[in-house]
């Protein structure tokens, strides 16, 4: 069965410092990986997906199949990045559900 | 487009009562998913529905829980004879028929069982 692991429940980073939120997955097939973000008092929303290979709000994430990781990175943290971040996996071939990690609460210290 | 709507946002029930959670998908979306988030845990998949069909209910508890997505009206997640362990946030998401990988989430319903 597929699994998504986010080892850090809480992460505090100073403004302007680099950010890395870790995500590891276990799945033998070809997964599709996502990062979702939930800002305070807002609904969960898609931040980025690995297949689009784009940078959103300065965040990037590279799928590393060898290490089965999909870490989220930003070179310079901003206060508005404070939020809850969830890594999610979507299986291929018709299984429509997302498997979520437990989430990491990122706090940016001014 | 108002986005995925869920109501109520907060629901309080006593043990043994029934809870009904509603989800209206985004306009044009025909796929609905329900997830549950227990305290200190991530979101866990419960059920995936299309109009009038349950496609995957592998995450649904075997008893007391049911879901439907009728031809007309919102999707309903129904919990009968609630127990304290059912207290959680329940999220609904929807996706269009094409490009199904992106799911759009509602604000969630927080169920508290007294």
Q: Does B5 lie at the interface with A, CB-CB under 8 angstroms?
A: no
Q: How far apart are alpha carbons B66 and B80 in whole angstroms?
A: 8
Distance of CA A21 to the CA centre of its chain: 7
pLDDT for res B2: 75
The four Cα atoms A83, A95, B104, B58 give a dihedral, to 10 degrees, of -80
Q: How far apart are alpha carbons B108 and B4 in whole angstroms?
A: 10
Put simply, the answer to whether A98 touches B48 (Cβ < 8 Å) is no
The answer, yes or no, to whether residue B82 has pLDDT greater than 80, is yes
Q: Does A39 lie at the interface with B, CB-CB under 8 angstroms?
A: no
Which residues of chain B are within 8 Å of residue A99 when distances are taken between CB atoms? Answer: 45
Going from the C-alpha of A107 to that of each of A69, B47, B63, the distances in angstroms are: 22, 32, 39
CB nearest A32 (choices: B48, B59, B101): B101
Using CA coordinates, name the residue in chain A closest to B37. Answer: A102
**Site of tokens 């306009």:** B27
Residue-wise pLDDT for B41-79, tens only, equals: 788 999 999 988 998 898 999 999 999 999 999 999 999
**Site of tokens 């940078």:** A55
Residues β-bridged to residue A94: none
SS3 of chain A? CCEEECCCCEEEEECCCCEEECCEEECCCCCEEEEEEECCCCCCEEEEECCCCCCECCEEECCECCCCECCEEECCCCHHHCEEEEEEEECCCCCCCEEECCCEEEEEEC
For chain A, what is the total number of helices (H) and then of strands (E)? 0, 11
Which residues of chain A are within 8 Å of residue B23 when distances are taken between CB atoms? Answer: none
Q: Does A101 lie at the interface with B, CB-CB under 8 angstroms?
A: yes
Q: What are the pLDDT tens digits along chain A (110 aa)?
A: 778 999 999 999 999 999 999 999 998 777 889 999 999 888 899 999 887 778 889 999 988 989 999 999 999 999 999 999 999 998 755 566 788 999 999 999 99
């Amino acid at each position: 069965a597929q699994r998504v692991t986010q080892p850090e429940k809480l992460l505090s980073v100073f403004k302007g410092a680099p950010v890395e939120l870790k995500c590891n997955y276990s799945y033998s097939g070809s997964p599709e990986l996502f990062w979702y973000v939930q800002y305070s008092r807002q609904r969960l929303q898609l931040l980025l997906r690995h297949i689009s290979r784009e940078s959103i709000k300065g965040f990037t994430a590279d799928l590393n199949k060898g290490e089965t990781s999909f870490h989220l990175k930003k070179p310079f943290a901003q206060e508005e990045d404070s939020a809850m971040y969830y890594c999610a996996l979507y299986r291929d071939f018709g299984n429509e559900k997302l498997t979520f990690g437990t989430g990491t609460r990122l706090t940016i210290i001014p | 487009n108002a986005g995925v709507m869920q109501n109520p946002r907060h629901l309080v029930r006593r043990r043994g009562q029934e809870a009904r959670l509603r989800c209206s998908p985004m306009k044009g979306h025909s796929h609905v998913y329900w997830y549950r988030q227990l305290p200190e845990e991530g979101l866990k998949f419960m059920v995936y529905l299309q109009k009038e069909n349950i496609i995957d209910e592998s995450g649904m508890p075997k008893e007391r829980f049911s879901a439907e997505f009728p031809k007309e009206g919102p999707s309903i997640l129904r919990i009968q004879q609630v127990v304290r362990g059912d207290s959680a946030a329940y999220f609904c998401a929807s996706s269009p028929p094409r490009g199904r990988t992106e799911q759009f989430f509602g604000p969630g319903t927080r169920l508290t069982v007294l």
